[in-house]
Structure formats: C-alpha cells, structure tokens
Chains A and B, each alone.
Chain A
C-alpha cells in the first residue's frame, strides 16, 4: 500500500500533462491553440494549488496521515504546471521577445503577480526534500506558508486577466479563500 500510494498520485497528476500533449500533437486545440495551452496549464496550476491547500484541512477532518504524505507531490506539481504555464507564455506566445515580456511583467499587474507567484514557488521547490525539512526545522513551516501568498496571487492573476470575474475566476477565488479561512479557524480552536 505504502509503496503503491505515491507512484499512483504521481501518475494521476500527470494526466493533464498527457492530455495537453496529446492535444498539441493531434492538433485538437481549436481556433486559438496558444491561448488554450496557456489557459489549460494555468487552470491546472490553480487546481493543484487548491489540492495542495486541501491536504492539511483534510487531515484534520479525517485524521488520516495519508493526506500529508501526498502533499509534497501535489505541491511539486503546482510548480510543474506553473512552469509549463510560464514557458508557454515566454516561448510559444511571445517567442522570447524579452523587451515585450519585461514590459508586461513590469506594467501589467496580472503578469506581475503571476510571475511573482512563480518566483515564490522556487524556494519551496528547493526546500521540498525531507533533508531540507529537517535542516530548516521550524523555519521550514514558516517558509512554506508562502503557499498562501502564492494562492492569493494565483487567484488575483486569474481575476485580473479576465474581462469579468464571472465565473471561473470567482469560483477559484472562493475556493482558495475558503481553504485559507479554514486554517484561521483551526488555529483558534487548537
């Protein structure tokens, strides 16, 4: 069971990547393929953020350690999809046109928060191993609270890039808000 668990979560998490790869190679992305890849990888980043944030509340509700064990894999997949999302924007959409990209990062607030969120993921990935966890001790927990900021930036990124908040940006923001609020309550009751 134990050895079976993580590989299966890993495989399941790869399914969106397999789907988008399949769509790219079979040309099934519709009228605006670049936007489709961007939105797809962006949305899966948000989904993995929500999944990662659900693990500790689930543990509290169910008392299964299971959730915490898979949290790291889910967190790493946040970075995986966020990086695909960023690379789609930089390489496929803007063709490494750095002047335009830098201009966007500086001037466009949705790109600024999106890019910042990705940068904030980097230290989390670098310190994700068991060894780093032991090494950093209490600081590890503090550092990994960055995921809350990343989640908020992620939802702001979605709201600001959309013409209206209806409906997906609103739905993701509400889910993230709920997951963050659950944490405040826990602390008070403990």
Chain B
C-alpha cells in the first residue's frame, strides 16, 4: 500500500470523471490511475467531497495574477480588455531549431487534450481544474534541445500599459519562471490553451500558460511569450523577490513549510464555510508519476 501514499487526491478526481478522463487522455497514466482508484476506492468514499471539479465561476474569478493587481478579483476585473491577438511565442536558447510561432499555429499543430489537475497554491488553497492543453515536451521536441539544455526558462509578457500591476515594483517584471529539463519534458507538464472546454480566459493566463500540477501554482507561468532552453538554473521572479521563501523547485510538500506559513493543510475552493481543511499531499498527489525525478535529492534543501 505504501506505493500509493502519494495518490490520495488524484484517483478521487478520476473516480467521478474517469470515463471522460480516460477517453480524453488515452494515456498509460490514465489506466494506471484507474487501477489506483480501484485499490483506494474505499478511501475515496471518505473524502468524497474533494473529488469534484471546482466551479468555473470560481476558477475564473479567484486568481493570483499580479500583473493585473494583487487582489484575487483584480485579474478578472482588469484583464478583460487585454489583447491576446496577435500573439507570438519564441522558443530559443540551447536548441537546434529556434522558432517564433503564432498562437494560431500552436493550436493547429498541437491538438488539445483534457487534463484534470489539482492546483495547489502556495497560499494554502486548492482547486480541481479541467485544463485543455498539450504536453510541453511535444513542442520542445520540435525545436531539438541541444545537450547543453539543462533548464527551461519561461518569460511572460511585459506590457505595463495593459497590465497595471507591472507599473509597480511588486515583482521583477516580466514574470520569469523555470523548470529543470526533465520536469519540463514530463508528460504531466502541459501548456494550457483552455479550461472547461472553453478558450482560456484572460485572467487565467491567456493565451498560453503553463501547468505543472505537482508544484505550487506560481510555478505555472501565465501569458508566456518566450521559452528559452538554458544551461544554468534560471532565477524566477519569486526567487528574486524572496530567495529564502521561494525555491527553484517549489514542489508541493506538506513537510516543508513556507518560512512564514504552514503547508500541512489546504482549503478547497468553493467548499463553503462548513468544510474543514484537507491535508496537503506530497507532490500534490502526483508522487507516483514524479517522485522519481527527485530520487536522492534532499527536498528540504532544494525546496
């Protein structure tokens, strides 16, 4: 049973949505998760309430997107006129074939699939979101990374005229994030173009955002314009803002507290005042898929 200790949450999501999920995903991971579901279904019953999808209205009105302000409702209120057309993404750095590609081309070249992921914010709340997108690895393979490509750096758009938050020194703009190459190539790591089968709303990071489900939400950059393969570990905007609080890896880990607040539990968005916090799980419940990326690493040191 030890094998399943990382998977308390995901199978429950699958429990309700398994038909849809597996049909859409059609991947080995899908059937693997189904097996886990069968084994842990007794468990699932007890935690029934946490397997349901977060409502669309909450996903699209409760956002951290400091480019549009630090309030949770700022992004939805201030991003509606944000222009996402035309939009080009450049993929360069340590690659054989650097490209600049338009959003239209991306949507045409990479068919989108549905991925139901739990999103765990570093602030201690979580949502379950049906994303539409495709594995980042697919697009990275197209540009043929060289053997010097050890990390991937994501740069979001810089546009203080349209993004009021960028007129203030809240973070080191534009927003920068990074992944190790193996994390970026992992099948669970996706580029997102939509949610709930709809076009990605501006407040959720349109037209193109990242989603890395086993890391805290801030690792998943929004409104990406540049993906650069690099040799050295990039410094993210949050690392620069507070290196003691935000590490490069930022894997969801209930045992490693943020220096100022606990990460042991989380609130489920949309659950109301009555429902209690739930325990946070290692790698946000995706440990079976990703724990092997960190074999032998001290995750307290590399937080």
Contact = CB atoms under 8 A, between A and B. Distances in A.
Given A37-B273, A166-B70, A161 B261 contact: yes
Contacts of B260: 108-110, 160-161
Contacts of A24: 273
Interface in B183-226: none
Interface of B is mostly: loop
A30 B273 CA distance: 10
A127 to B, nearest CB: 33
A188 interface: no
B261 A31 contact: no
Given A35-B125, A110-B261, A92 B273 contact: yes
B170 interface: yes
A31 B273 contact: no
A93 B170 CA distance: 29
| Interface bin, chain A | 20 to 34
Contact of A94 (B125, B170, B171, B277): B277
A181 to B, nearest CB: 24
B262 A33 contact: no
A169 to B, nearest CB: 10
A34 B125 CA distance: 11
B90 to A, nearest CB: 29
B291 interface: no
B123 A163 contact: yes
B62 A30 contact: yes
Nearest to B241: A164
Contacts of A187: none
B66 interface: yes
B276 interface: yes
Contact of B171 (A33, A164, A167): A164
Given A31-B270, A35-B267, A107-B257, A95 B170 contact: no
Contact of A100 (B125, B262, B272, B273): B262
Interface residues of B, number: 26
Interface in B31-90: 58, 61-62, 66, 70, 72
A100 B265 CA distance: 10
Contacts of B265: 100
B269 interface: yes
Contacts of B272: 27, 33
A30 B59 CA distance: 11
A95 B278 CA distance: 12
A31 B277 contact: no
Contacts of B277: 93-95
Nearest to A35: B267
A4 B70 CA distance: 41
B125 A108 contact: no
B302 interface: no
A29 interface: yes
A164 B267 contact: no
B261 A108 contact: yes
Contacts of A163: 70, 122-123
A160 B61 CA distance: 25
Chain B CB within 10 Å — which of A100, A161, A163, A164 has the most? A163
Given A100-B264, A103-B262, A163-B122, 7 more contacts: A32-B267, A95-B277, A109-B260, A110-B261, A161-B260, A163-B70, A166-B170
13 contacts: A29-B273, A31-B62, A31-B269, A32-B267, A34-B273, A35-B125, A35-B267, A93-B277, A100-B265, A103-B262, A110-B260, A161-B260, A167-B168
Q: Which 4 A-B pairs have the closest CB atoms?
A: A31-B58, A31-B62, A33-B273, A31-B269
